Amino acid sequence: MFGLLTRRRRARIAARPFPGPWLEILERDVPLYTRLEALDRLELQRHVQVFLSEKRFEGCGGVVLTEEMTVTIASQACLLLLHRDTDYYPTVRSILVYPATYVAPVVEETDDWLVTEGHEDREGEAWEHGVVVLSWADVQADTADATSGRNLVLHEFAHQLDMEDGSPDGAPLLPRRTMYAEWQRVMSDAYARLKRDVTRRRPTEIDEYGATDPAEFFAVVTEGFFERPAELREAEPALYEQLATYYGQDPVARPSGR
């Protein structure tokens, strides 16, 4: 019953007229939105309305939240939900927005059980228990340049998709169980190639940060899939096909050709 009530509530929210100021923000500030076909734009607008009704945004480090911030972030998070059955990132409760790169505490444990504590500068992070943290300066820069292959919002929300099955391992919940074997084979092969190319200092289409671990690889190739789809398909056609099947989208086939 709760599921049915939730669906009905979301349908009512999605049916509301999309606010004019929000549309101006999307058309002015979010190039990934303007690449979409008309029906996809309408679907994205509906997702944005539901997303913003359910998630709590919090300004940190002196940030005063604006509609520009929340709509820009929500639209790119919801781009990953197009054409798919979705529960709108069910574990995400809060999005924390800092003005720029922020300092986060880190704890590291070495092989000899030595634990060290320190701090590092971060642009964003995705927590396993309901929080996404973003630097607004980096969100703005990445959003404006939609061909760089870098997009902080896509990256951190891809991590959230990855963690929906309880494990940040680079394998999100797939539509069918029969897809996992092929996903694992293709992703593992592409990940191994990236690690090899990074080790040998060869140029790669995929950002070398993706060689960190399988979870980062999935987040990084998600960025490339939406921002540099033609280049990713040429470099890694099997990988591109897996992402197109998972996301239910084919960015190369859009009228923009991107």
pLDDT at 117: 59
Pairing of strands 94-98, 56-59: parallel
Q: List strand residue ranges (DSSP E) for the chain, in order.
A: 56-59, 94-98, 102-109, 115-122, 124-126, 131-135
Q: What are the strands of the beta sheet with 56-59, ordered from one edge? A: 56-59, 94-98, 131-135, 124-126
pLDDT at 103: 78
Name 133's bridge partners: 96, 125
pLDDT tens digit sequence for 29-67: 999 999 999 999 999 999 999 999 999 999 999 999 999
- Give the fold, CATH level 3, of 1-145: Cyclin A; domain 1 (1.10.472)
Tell me, what amino acid is at 14? A
Please state, in angstroms and rounded to a whole number, the distance separating the CA atoms of residues 60 and 154. 20
pLDDT at 112: 56
pTM for this prediction: 0.92
CA 21 to chain centre: 24
- Give the fold, CATH level 3, of 169-258: Collagenase (Catalytic Domain) (3.40.390)
The structure tokens 């913003």 sit at: 52
pLDDT at 129: 80
Residue 105's φ and ψ, nearest 5 degrees, are: -70, 145
The structure tokens 């099997």 sit at: 238
Per-residue pLDDT of the chain (258 residues; tens, 9 = 90+): 458 899 999 999 999 999 999 999 999 999 999 999 999 999 999 999 999 999 999 999 999 999 999 999 999 999 999 999 899 999 999 999 999 988 776 666 555 555 445 667 778 899 888 899 999 999 999 999 999 999 999 999 999 999 998 889 999 999 889 999 999 999 999 999 999 999 999 999 999 999 999 999 999 999 999 999 999 999 999 999 999 999 999 999 987 655
Nearest to 162 by CA among 220, 245, 205: 220
Nearest to 221 by CA among 169, 163, 164, 170: 170
Domains of the chain, by residue range, sit at 1-145, 169-258
Angle, vertex CA 38, rays to CA 252 and CA 65, nearest 5:
95
